[in-house]
């Protein structure tokens, strides 16, 4: 923490400034800004909630779907169900990411205010641009990572079964985190690129 408090290079200081601004402006629970913070938190837990809600449902057929399928002789049923649920989960995570990208895409690039407020300081325009982009990338990656943590831990338990080639829990969790994380990044930058076309 002490290292963070010290003065570092221009690029680091700019990233610190822009990152702080994103957290202050968009996601903090400072007076009058509790709604975006609440929506942000809700969106982070939504994908994990999808899995947890089903596990806790009163309908025994639905809650123990995988147990029943695992008992069946044919592995094709459990595999098809897992793929369908996996696709639904990734779609939901990707949709939340898309929503974040739509809300945040304007923050990716420096505004006129950034250039004017930093005009008299020894900072190059490209350093401002790079820092702004880096801070947004860090922020998005953190959001995507946070959104994927719980689903990646729950999914192997939920979908795990004898049909898998490699039934190691941690491998399955890693694969889940990697695939949905990359899907999120793809969607995030695809939306930013599409917005940039206009």
Which residues of this protein are in contact with another protein, per CB under 8 A? 5-8, 10, 13-14, 16-17, 21, 24-25, 113, 116-124
How near is the Cβ of 174 to another protein at its closest, in Å?
38
Between CA 127 and CA 129 the distance in angstroms is 5
Of the two residues 59 and 120, which places its CB atom closer to another protein in the complex? 120
Torsion region of 163: left, alpha or beta (phi above 0 gives left; psi -120 to 50 gives alpha): alpha
Give the H or E element holding residue 167.
Answer: none
Of 5 and 74, nearer to another protein (C-beta) is 5
**Nearest distance in Å: CB 17, another protein:** 6
User: Please, what is the minimum distance in Å from the beta carbon of residue 104 to another protein?
Assistant: 16
Alpha carbon separation from 71 to 68, 75, 80, 161 (Å, rounded) = 5, 9, 15, 10
**What's the closest the beta carbon of residue 102 comes to another protein, in angstroms?**
22
Give the separation between CA 68 and CA 62, rounded to whole angstroms: 10
Nearer to another protein, 2 or 165 (CB): 2
């Amino acid at each position: 923490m002490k290292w963070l408090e010290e003065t570092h290079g221009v690029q680091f200081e700019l990233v610190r400034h822009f990152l702080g601004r994103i957290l202050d402006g968009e996601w903090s629970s400072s007076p009058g800004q509790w709604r975006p913070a609440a929506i942000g938190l809700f969106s982070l837990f939504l994908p994990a909630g999808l899995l947890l809600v089903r596990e806790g449902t009163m309908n025994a057929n639905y809650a123990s779907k995988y147990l029943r399928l695992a008992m069946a002789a044919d592995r094709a049923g459990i595999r098809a169900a897992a793929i369908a649920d996996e696709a639904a989960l990734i779609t939901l995570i990707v949709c939340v990411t898309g929503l974040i990208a739509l809300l945040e895409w304007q923050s990716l690039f420096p505004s006129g205010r950034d250039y004017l407020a930093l005009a008299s300081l020894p900072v190059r325009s490209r350093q401002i641009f790079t820092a702004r982009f880096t801070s947004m990338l860090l922020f998005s990656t953190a959001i995507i990572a946070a959104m994927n943590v719980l689903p990646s831990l729950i999914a192997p338990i939920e979908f795990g079964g004898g049909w898998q080639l490699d039934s190691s829990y941690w491998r399955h969790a890693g694969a889940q985190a990697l695939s949905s994380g990359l899907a999120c990044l793809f969607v995030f930058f695809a939306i930013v690129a599409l917005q940039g076309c206009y």
